[in-house]
A and B are shown apart, each in its own frame.
Chain A
Amino acid sequence: MQRVLLYVEDTPGMPTATAWALSLATGMSCRVFALTVIGPDAERRRDAHASDAEERAWSHLYEIEDDAFQKNVRISLLLETGDPLQELVSLSTNYDAELIVVSADCRLTCSELVRQSSRPVVFVR
């Protein structure tokens, strides 16, 4: 395995999913693509709420990047705008990810993700 796509959301289970993905990447020497998706309205709106949401999204990604760096895991950060499920499915294909890792408490509809994704999905609890 060479590429793992980690879907990042601000949920209580996210640190566990991140640790699992980084551990897998360490063991298999693979690259992690950490993806977070902000809603389409965040791009259009430039009010304080949208701005804070984007800043929080970046800070989650950079936290993960820093952890990955300490563990010698190669990582790329992706912040996209749009529908989270559609972006996740689409980018897993674009970046040729061999595995998608999500936290079991993510806000995605898990059954829809499994149905739409052409890649295996691991839900970490």
Chain B
Amino acid sequence: MAKISELLPRSAIVLNLQSKEKSAVINELVHPLVASGAIAEESEFVSAIVRRENMESTGIGLGVAIPHARTKAVSNIVLAFGRSDTGVDFSSLDGKPSHLIFLIAAPEEQKTEYIMTLARLSKLLRRDEVRIGLNKAGSPDEVMRVIVQHES
């Protein structure tokens, strides 16, 4: 099973998200994955992730959101990470905006790996020191260092 750090390309780390609204943030995070070829069908993937957002709150609290989808538009599990200074409303149950947003794109047939990636990432992001590190990181390399350091 791949580690989170192995699934997150540096090119898909956006430290200063420009968008303020959920669907625009998702698009902003999807773009680098489309540009790198990790997502083959942008519109199919975006509609899958928006559909899930409409059904669930992917804001897990603590200022974190993990929008995710499993679709045929993707051939391998891949992540994108964005940080928003102002915060974005992901309908978290704690009512607070999300500042750290990890997007997960997974192929339809890789359900187990997808679930395990979600579980590992959620566990990682519940740790105070990880969120503090990600909030302070000044470059994609520093983001990767924080993740690698705390991944078991």
Contact = CB atoms under 8 A, between A and B. Distances in A.
Interface of A: 48, 51, 54-56, 58-59, 61-63, 65-66, 68-69, 72-79, 95
Contact of B119 (A59, A73, A74, A76): A59
B123 A55 contact: yes
A62 B118 CA distance: 7
Nearest to A54: B123
- Interface of chain B, helix or strand or loop or mixed? helix
Contacts of A72: 55
B152 A51 contact: yes
Interface string B108-128: 000100111011101100100
Interface residues of B, number: 18
Interface in B131-152: 152
Interface in B37-66: 52, 55-57, 60
Closest 8 CB pairs of A and B: A58-B119, A59-B119, A62-B118, A58-B122, A62-B115, A54-B123, A55-B119, A55-B123
B123 A74 contact: no
A37 B152 CA distance: 22
Given A62-B118, A62-B119, A76-B57, A69 B52 contact: yes
Contacts of A76: 56-57, 93
A77 to B, nearest CB: 7
A63 B114 CA distance: 10
Contacts of B55: 68-69, 72-75
Given A75-B56, A76-B56, A76-B57, 11 more contacts: A54-B123, A55-B120, A58-B120, A58-B122, A58-B123, A66-B111, A68-B55, A69-B52, A73-B55, A77-B60, A79-B126
B127 to A, nearest CB: 8
B115 A54 contact: no
A59 B115 contact: yes
